[in-house]
Structure 1
Amino acid sequence: MSDLEAILQGKLVLITGCTGGIGQASARAFARRGCSVAVHYNSTSSREKASQLVAELTKNPGVRAAAFQADLSNYDSTRVLHSQVVRELGHPDILFSNHGVTGPKIGPEGDVGDVTPEIFEDIWRTNAGTHFLLAQLCIPHMQERKWGRVIFTSSVAAGNGGVIGPHYASSKAALHGLLHWLSLRYCKEGITTNAVAPALIEDTAMLSNPSEAIKSKIPIGRLGKPDEIASIVILLATNGYMTNKVIHADGGWTIGGF
């Protein structure tokens, strides 16, 4: 473990969407570095997976972990999640806000009329609104400690439109404006805010059965792996000089920043 990674020892990270591929890989990476983990899962069908992950994480010396169910398309449930985590494990030092939904997949050649305003708003609430609320709830403790990390999972869709639809792409782009404001406001208090923007990662719900046409979009010639995204999350959690950034992990799909 490097000196930078040693700063995670004894910290608590709240990972939303923790039973997905990126969430699980990140939870394991944090736990290996001595970080306790609040494991969030959405549906009751993921309860067993969450329990198994908690059992695995707590095999690391000094690591505490517990599972918490919450529907993060709902603001009240989001508030309850935070209060339950605080009551059982303490205040998160690191927020890895990783949850999200795609909504209907109309594709890059779909019709904008296929997405109703109601669907658009629902996707935004889950993919941006409750991320904002969790940051709002977690930051006061980070201010008290003069140390904190806020990390969002975005998507290359925020910059290139993606393969799902305007509702998803725009909701992810909203996270970028949020992180820029949060970073500029709180970085002098020791709180960094960043995002990782993956493209087409295997072993995730979004890509349970990717087509060859989708795979062909990646110049590197393969899908990304959850562990590759987790390594970026650890970088963002450990590096106190990196803030206000969106890190693209997309196999060379996008050119430049956004």
Structure 2
Amino acid sequence: MGELDGRVAVITGGARGQGRAHATALAAAGADIVLCDIGGPVASVPYPLASEQDLADTAALVTRAGRRCLPVTADVRSREQMDAVAERAIAEFGRIDILLANAGVASSGLIAEMPEQTWQDMIDVNLTGVFHSFHAVVPHMVERGWGRIVATSSIVARMGARKSGHYAAAKWGVVGLVKSLALEVAEHGITVNAVLPSGVQTDMILNPATYRELLPDIENPTEADAMAMFEAGGGLIQPAEVSELILLLVSESGRRYNGEALTISGGMSAGTI
């Protein structure tokens, strides 16, 4: 018997990285999974996003764990597409118990020099995409009188970061959205929380564009160069480590967590509020 037997989870950004780790962890705990990912590029994002093959590969991992999986190509920037994801999930599985609003992108730029498109893409994916995901599933959860919602924010929301003002603003907005929704739906047996990891070892960090931003004094920096830099600071968090926190929050034992912004940073957050 798994802790999530009979539950159905919708995971945005589920094709790889943290989303893939969460999908396999929840499946191992007994949940059926609806995977949502864009399967294509976003204009201002300087690294390849998850592909439809990535989505299929994660679905295969869920199936291998003995759970059912519905992979859906959809863009969180579209309310209509996210509403359609929820409708397909309910049609396929009859219910939605858990939402992990995990889809996100990263890019860089100084605030005074940032192109409008770079700002807009960031807000549209990392903040409005969370809103669309909430909007799609909450009415169903209210009707059923139970739900677990977790949104992926970032430690950068609390700290800010040079050349990441748009990212920090979007992720801080996620915290405000989470806390507000938590107040609105608590009476319906629904909890809403945010997780705020520091650097996680995913393609969002492990790509040449990010290496160049992190190591501007090295010509053509490599993954090995970047990993050496991260190891000097304690190392990157593994996606599965974030999944352990997610599992707590979405389980029955997570009922006392509501409106929380929980940081996982290996001590990096000690100097933040």
CA gap of 1:43–1:134, structure 2 versus 1, over 3 A, is same
Matched, 1:9 2:2: no
1:85-164 correspondence runs (5 A): 85-103=89-107, 105-106=108-109, 111-162=110-161, 164=163
Q: Give the total of aligned pairs.
A: 248
Question: Could you tell me how far 1:216 is from its partner in structure 2?
Answer: 5.0
Question: Could you tell me how far 1:217 is from its partner in structure 2?
Answer: 7.0
CA–CA distance in structure 2, aligned partners of residues 81 and 203 of structure 1: 25
CA–CA distance in structure 1, aligned partners of residues 162 and 23 of structure 2: 27
**2:30 equivalent among 28, 34, 38:** 34
Counterpart code for 1:243: N
CA gap of 1:163–1:84, structure 2 versus 1, over 3 A, is farther
Q: Residue 246 of structure 1 aligns with which residue? A: 261
Q: Residue 239 of structure 2 aligns with which residue? A: 226
CA gap of 1:114–1:75, structure 2 versus 1, over 3 A, is farther
**1:68 equivalent among 67, 72, 89:** 72
% identical aligned pairs: 28
CA–CA distance in structure 2, aligned partners of residues 71 and 92 of structure 1: 19
Question: Could you tell me how far 1:77 is from its partner in structure 2?
Answer: 2.6
CA–CA distance in structure 2, aligned partners of residues 205 and 118 of structure 1: 19
CA–CA distance in structure 2, aligned partners of residues 182 and 154 of structure 1: 15
CA–CA distance in structure 2, aligned partners of residues 253 and 171 of structure 1: 20
Counterpart code for 1:201: V
CA contact (8 A) 2:182 2:192 kept: yes
CA–CA distance in structure 2, aligned partners of residues 164 and 153 of structure 1: 20
SS in 2 for 1:37: strand
Two-structure CA RMSD over aligned residues (Å): 2.3
CA–CA distance in structure 2, aligned partners of residues 221 and 174 of structure 1: 28
CA–CA distance in structure 2, aligned partners of residues 90 and 74 of structure 1: 23
Deviates more, 1:191-200 or 1:207-216: 207-216
Q: What's the TM-score once normalised by structure 1's chain length?
A: 0.87
Q: 1:114-165: per-residue Cα shift (whole Å, max 9, x none)?
A: 2134432331121111211211221112112221011000011101113551
CA gap of 1:71–1:136, structure 2 versus 1, over 3 A, is closer
Counterpart code for 1:9: D
CA gap of 1:57–1:173, structure 2 versus 1, over 3 A, is same
Counterpart code for 1:254: S
Gaps of 5+ in 1: none
Gaps of 5+ in 2: 41-49, 215-224
Matched, 1:206 2:205: yes
